[in-house]
Chain A
């Protein structure tokens, strides 16, 4: 059971380049999210999705796009990379016990990928 898989593990980009960070989970989780981790700031929510076809912004969405065409995949796109986006990115997923579409993390455990370390020069 792979859990949450993120690719790539490391990436160096030049300012202005675009790229997509991949995230896939094989647990049939409804809820998926992207965080960035910066020193002294913990993890901050970028975007999240409560199910296929539904996405929403988190705390720090600027400069990032997401889509959720399938339950399994939740890619994060950097439109035009900037040095301020140098960070470690984590994808997370959780199974919602709620039957309606607004189910989220609630009282369920979030499973995290191994992270992508991105450097923008």
Chain B
């Protein structure tokens, strides 16, 4: 069965510090990988996605993620965070099963940026 694991439920970090949010997935088939961000009381919006090609993917707001097939990981990074990055971040995989693609989410990581 496919699954997505986000090991950290909450990551506190000081403003302008670097951050890494971890994501591991399990799948025996090819997947597409996504990171979504949810600001308070809002829906989810796409940060970045990996489909194929270069394993380093750049997204919006200065975020990037690296796909590592051997470690089945897709960690999200930002070299210098801002207060406005405080939000919940979801890793997701899109896998083909039961005649359709399904988007499977991790449990989320709450990024708390402190001044």
Chain A residues engaging chain B, CB cutoff 8 angstroms: 4, 31, 33, 35, 40-45, 48, 50, 56, 58, 90, 92, 102-107, 109-110, 112-115
The distance in angstroms between the C-alpha atoms of A48 and B97, with both chains bound, is: 13
Chain A residues with CB under 8 A of B99: 102
Across-interface contacts of B36 in A (CB, < 8 A):
112
Q: Are A113 and B90 in contact (CB under 8 A)?
A: no
Residues on A with beta carbons closer than 8 Å to the beta carbon of B45: 112
Please measure, in the bound complex, the distance between the C-alpha atom of A95 and the C-alpha atom of B44, giving whole angstroms. 17
Number of B residues with CB within 8 Å of any CB on chain A: 28
Query: Would you call A106 and B90 a contact (CB within 8 A)?
Result: no
Binds A, one of B14-22, B65-73, B79-87, B101-109: B101-109
Residues of A within 8 A of B108 (CB): 40, 42
CB nearest neighbor in A for B101: A104
Name the prevailing secondary structure of the B interface residues: strand
B56 interface residue (CB < 8 Å to A): no
Q: B7 near A: Cβ within 8 Å?
A: no
B1-42 contacts to A, CB under 8 A, are: 4, 6, 9, 32, 34, 36, 41-42
- Closest chain B CB from A76 CB (angstroms): 15
* Chain A to chain B: the 9 pairs with minimum beta-carbon distance, closest first: A104-B101, A112-B43, A104-B100, A42-B105, A42-B107, A43-B105, A105-B101, A112-B44, A107-B51
Cross-chain contact B43 with A33 (CB below 8 angstroms):
no
* Nearest CB in chain A to that of B99: its residue: A102
A41 to chain B, nearest CB (A): 6
A120 to chain B, nearest CB (A): 20
- Bound-state CA distance A58–B98 (Å) is 10
| Residues of A close to B41: CB separation below 8 A | 115
For the complex formed, measure the closest distance between the CB of B9 and the CB atoms of chain A, giving whole angstroms: 7
Are A105 and B44 in touch, CB under 8 angstroms?
no
9 additional A-B pairs beyond A106-B94, A112-B45, beta carbons within 8 Å, are A42-B4, A42-B108, A44-B105, A45-B102, A48-B102, A104-B96, A104-B100, A110-B46, A114-B43
Given contacts A42-B105, A56-B100, contact A106 B46 (CB under 8 A): no
Instruction: Pull 29 A–B residue pairs with CB atoms less than 8 Å apart, ordered by A.
Output: A4-B43, A31-B101, A35-B105, A40-B9, A40-B107, A41-B107, A42-B6, A42-B105, A43-B44, A45-B103, A48-B102, A56-B100, A58-B102, A90-B44, A102-B100, A104-B96, A104-B101, A105-B101, A106-B32, A106-B96, A107-B32, A107-B49, A107-B94, A109-B34, A109-B46, A112-B36, A112-B44, A114-B42, A115-B41
